[in-house]
Structure 1
């Protein structure tokens, strides 16, 4: 097949699933119509406008089904200029097939794309695949046609599997329903075949692709996606006349003050409550500015999912606790096309945009805010580091430290010259780094050496695992095991990293999520694959702290915290710990052994009242009351079952009585030398429980060697 692209580049983009069109995109129609749809269309248009590009074709599946608009059945759809959508038959065209069920039709997609190239008498200079299924197609085509393959994953199977586990699905369900094994294998094939992988952030490279056997970071490039500067631009002066402005103003006593704007989903990981707490505790912030919280749209909080209900309820309680009425606006609903006006309103007021998320993989709202003329204050975790690094338009904060949030906001609000400089830097930085024109220019700069053959991509020999997923895990408590001697932590971390592909890492702690994250970041402990917090009542998964909602529903069985507090209210020697140590499913007391009844007596009292609880006593002074179904050990067994890792393949490290039920039964276990007094000394199963001679992290490393954990486990 002759190549007729000598007058300019011919680029073939592939996004298989089919619900793609140039106008009136049905974003959110189903799970196949997310941000990737808009991304590939905008990318095609932007590349086609670049000098030296002759044509850009975006290949997708043809769907001539009565269940979808007839647009999706058109063979060719112009996108303007030199770009178009080309629809390929793969599977029955009269049927819409979700992407999870398309795998058996992908080879037909390959064959029909080849037929299209033969008919058009033109071969692409470059193939760029989007998502795992297109990666499979692109790998086959690139290898057959001998042209370079570039790939963008958008989302990765190993990461999505973790999120699905958090929603209560088993490994078997996930593999069957989502064809996850085929998807991950296709992703490995694509990583092995592609000349370049394009990602949005450095974190995506380091924390997501790193999970794959064919991970080669030297072949990965970070090119952030563009934003539409025709939608997001500085205020024009008439924004206060809009309906959304009137809706916001009705909350505020002094609406002329600058607005501190937070805009996100009502998701606990977005950490909006920390911003409200920081604002509520700072009279100076309240004096200078109003707070605007845009947390999705709602008709009735009771109709929202449990996670959103909890977040909004906590926000409303915080507004009341800090008496923020008249100083905080929280509109009930807004339309999608009102979002640019919300940014411009905040900019016109002289305000600041804040993203206090626990982690932020990219941070599109930060770019939109900057393009609208707002300086930004954002979490130091993830994409915001790249954005502020490129634009120099704001301040990074520790989302778990209220004081840093207040200090950053005051810096911008009290110093107009600093705020204005951040605004100007942001407007310039977005044009240079985050517009679609900038994206397309950077893209061509990156791929040109591949096309000119001036860059030789070295193929590093890679070994593949026999298993698709982790086949073993190390689980450790936090305070007793890791934090006692920080000097030893780097050695333990290096051991983990060397075995990252085979071994999951989990932390089980009595601390809350926020407290655990704060101390782990302080000591540079890597984010665990699983974080079991609040003594086993909450489970989160990396890379973005997805909470296991099924576990929350499971442990709520017969849980009556009000009755627990009533029964224990008048007992001597018990004192409720501060609110920071309490949570929805954990009631924590200080225990004074000289005055308080014996632990067994407290248990009997609770059981006599027919309360279904689990009583945990540790360090000789801490008493936690949990739901009957909750504990570190029960959470560990639940995670092991969900992940398909046998308990015999798990090494548990503990140092106090709170760790005991994790260490009983079939797991391998190590009691570190610094265990609290004689707690855990009675666990004398010599075969599966090892008492380390060394303390803290070195005790865990000692046990790894004792059990030959990374070697003999392969033969179990």
Structure 2
């Protein structure tokens, strides 16, 4: 970057840089983000009548597009540059534009503190970088999120370069495989890696003359004499295939062979999914508005995991030993459960044989608080004791430690970390959505927001859990490192300040192979194409049609004057970030869109009296005001009530029946569960360009990206599609078919679960054989928990005790 800036300073473009800086500093602001910087530069180019290339292709244009932050401090200009995805550099430009020097992250953090007048001469610095310096590292930013593929290549290279060590490590892993007291795979007849390699060849010679369909029980005794126990396959043919993969892995290791072999090894039987804040039940108890998507995700994942584990056990031949998979969803028990099952300790997950919701209560520090549901922002004071109590409950239920613990959201991940430390289980983090990047400058102004959000505890918990995880699952690439235009959620933890609390100099290694993109699926029992008429319930169809288009009661607002217009559907909780009021305003501003379409908004609640959140109440008031301001009561319907997933599926299909469209107008959406639901139902979908939809939807091929911040542009995008469908009726069907195909092929729970269990096995092997000293990292994270997190959490608990 130094060469780029020097090219600006050594040319006529230095004047342009000076004028852009002057234009920014004429306002009272001193801290600018990328959009403001580019807009100011664009205005300069226009006013100075620069040629078209200047904005993008000049040296200063390139510099401005790489600049994500600018801070003006004491005459100097500080730049946060991203030369490429996953990379951040800090540069300081002198007041006279004569010097441009690269600076340290520590220096930038001091400048940020001074900006908010909360600087101090000494502050705790957190730097996780030393713990990753000897670990394998991904080099190409395009490969971030493909940790499994990278690790497979790395392990195969190690097998070739140091075959004696890695052969012995592989033997030890297989030799120690067991289920409770039952030996699996290799017994004490084999004493070393070299002996294992020889015995594998003998076993293959023996199996070669047996029928492929012969049950494993018929060859078990002979294989046992050679040193092999059950787990290789349910038939002689499958056992032969698995042993052949091991033989090839030993003699000529290749990533594809390693992955195929590991996928067959029985290593995971007991899984715990941690989702703390509760309100998890069947169908009608899918969380509170801010957690509904996560709860649906966890329930679907539990069902899919149990099915896949059962299949793997059967194919490995272990069902003959009466081995059964066990899946637990760990959450909190809520005594005042409002007539739901959330006060019941144990509840079986529907459509499973052995998956359960295990509810553990918070200790009654103050029953006035702990008897009730507690917001995810207030939950931090209870997590340590919850983890202690949950450990005992898990061991009682499972009879032993789980093989895999999966954390969900920030609180669930912290509890998963604490449990995995005690139970010695493989630990996976799934953040779903991180609060820090969703709320601009939330770390910088954390003290002002502390009473409401307690970000000091949450951001510290995030740092601990994401670094403690054996592997991290994300739904999209951009969740990790964003795009060239915007930082990713995890990237926002790379370098940040909590003024007067601590500086995070290097909070996460974005190039670590622990990151893996594994998108979720859709519950295809509830969400399926509108064209599958035989799978639809006619009575439900009639009720949903009535609700969407005609019914009038306290749960609905508006009456559609012309039912022949094409319907636009949006479905989301009534929260500011979901931006339903913004979509209504966009619709109200576009008379042309109103001429062609009706707007139907489906949300959870419209009753101000039932709302405890100030932000939600303000959003409801805003929607009411927009409906009145633009006189939309005969063109917009709003339905406010809770639905089961079956009902939601039929809502999407009812709109598809009328060749409508789905719009997801959120200001930011980490992934977008409703996007998948709408697409698989057959609805052409318009989704926010800020978040995971960038990867789900191929713009103008199987859906459309929209900018919810620009109402005119969003209306034009929707209107363009609608009018094209009127002149080319087949166009709607084309996009609908492509949307269905996209979800069915790329976003299904079978693929998700298969990949998740493969990750657990591979990272479990890596954790066992790695020469890295992870214990040093974990002890550092323990210190952060007790010295940073716990004092902040105790303050929240003390406040709750006084209620």
Where on the TM-score scale, by shorter chain, does this alignment land: which range? 0.5 to 0.7
Q: 1:60 to 1:358 in 2, by over 3 A?
A: closer
Q: What's 1:421 paired with?
A: 734
Q: What's 1:257 paired with?
A: 565
Following superposition, the deviation at residue 165 of structure 1 comes to 9.3
2:514 pairs with 1:211: no
Q: What's 2:353 paired with?
A: 81
Following superposition, the deviation at residue 375 of structure 1 comes to 0.9
Q: 1:299 to 1:462 in 2, by over 3 A?
A: closer
2:506 pairs with 1:198: no
- Tell me the TM-score normalized by structure 1: 0.53
Does the CA contact (< 8 Å) of 2:527 and 2:649 recur in 1? Answer: yes
Q: 1:226 to 1:220 in 2, by over 3 A?
A: same
Instruction: Kindly report which structure 2 residues correspond to 1:404-415, keeping only aligned pairs within 5 A, or say none.
Output: 404-415=717-728
Q: What's 1:170 paired with?
A: 448
2:295 pairs with 1:37: yes
Residue 304 of structure 2, aligned match among 46, 49, 63: 46
Q: 1:203 to 1:96 in 2, by over 3 A?
A: farther
Q: What is the CA–CA distance in structure 2 between the aligned matches of 1:10 and 1:276, rounded to whole Å?
A: 49
Q: 1:404 to 1:455 in 2, by over 3 A?
A: farther
Q: What's 1:356 paired with?
A: 665
Show CA shifts across 1:154-204 (max 9, x none). Answer: 4446458869899998355358xx4x5444333322222212112233343
Structure 1 stretches of 5 or more lacking a match? 469-716
Does the CA contact (< 8 Å) of 1:240 and 1:246 recur in 2? Answer: no
Show CA shifts across 1:271-294 (max 9, x none). Answer: 556656766676765554444344
Q: What is the CA–CA distance in structure 2 between the aligned matches of 1:268 and 1:70, rounded to whole Å?
A: 28
Instruction: Kindly report which structure 2 residues correspond to 1:524-543, keeping only aligned pairs within 5 A, or say none.
Output: none
More deviation in 223-232 or 261-270?
261-270
Q: What's 1:55 paired with?
A: 325
Following superposition, the deviation at residue 49 of structure 1 comes to 0.5
Q: What's 1:582 paired with?
A: none
Following superposition, the deviation at residue 247 of structure 1 comes to 1.8
2:690 pairs with 1:381: yes
Q: What's 1:330 paired with?
A: 637
Does the CA contact (< 8 Å) of 1:203 and 1:383 recur in 2? Answer: yes
Q: What is the CA–CA distance in structure 1 between the aligned matches of 2:450 and 2:642, rounded to whole Å?
A: 39
Q: 1:18 to 1:116 in 2, by over 3 A?
A: farther
Instruction: Kindly report which structure 2 residues correspond to 1:203-242, keeping only aligned pairs within 5 A, or say none.
Output: 203-206=478-481, 207-212=488-493, 213-217=506-510, 218=512, 219-235=514-530, 236=533, 239=541, 242=545
**Higher normalized helix content (fraction of residues):** 2
Show CA shifts across 1:47-104 (max 9, x none). Answer: 0011316523325367484767795566654332232334567746996484333134
Q: What is the CA–CA distance in structure 1 between the aligned matches of 2:353 and 2:748, rounded to whole Å?
A: 19
Following superposition, the deviation at residue 297 of structure 1 comes to 4.3
Show CA shifts across 1:112-165 (max 9, x none). Answer: 268548x82x44332222234443343344345544211112444645886989
Q: What is the CA–CA distance in structure 2 between the aligned matches of 1:155 and 1:173, rounded to whole Å?
A: 21
Structure 2 stretches of 5 or more lacking a match? 1-175, 185-230, 232-265, 314-323, 482-487, 494-505, 553-557, 785-803
Show CA shifts across 1:541-580 (max 9, x none). Answer: xxxxxxxxxxxxxxxxxxxxxxxxxxxxxxxxxxxxxxxx
Q: 1:128 to 1:298 in 2, by over 3 A?
A: closer
Q: What is the CA–CA distance in structure 2 between the aligned matches of 1:108 and 1:136, rounded to whole Å?
A: 12
Residue 404 of structure 2, aligned match among 126, 132, 135: 126
Following superposition, the deviation at residue 255 of structure 1 comes to 1.6
Does the CA contact (< 8 Å) of 1:18 and 1:63 recur in 2? Answer: no
Q: What is the CA–CA distance in structure 1 between the aligned matches of 2:562 and 2:283, rounded to whole Å?
A: 39
Q: What's 1:307 paired with?
A: 619
2:455 pairs with 1:142: no
Q: What is the CA–CA distance in structure 2 between the aligned matches of 1:349 and 1:150, rounded to whole Å?
A: 43
Q: What's 2:101 paired with?
A: none
> Alpha carbon RMSD of aligned pairs, Å?
4.6
Instruction: Kindly report which structure 2 residues correspond to 1:552-701, keeping only aligned pairs within 5 A, or say none.
Output: none
Show CA shifts across 1:15-39 (max 9, x none). Answer: 26374655355344698x6443333
Q: What's 2:749 paired with?
A: 436
Q: What is the CA–CA distance in structure 2 between the aligned matches of 1:286 and 1:107, rounded to whole Å?
A: 53
Show CA shifts across 1:306-328 (max 9, x none). Answer: 3321233124322x3xxx675x2
Following superposition, the deviation at residue 298 of structure 1 comes to 2.6
- Tell me the TM-score normalized by structure 2: 0.48
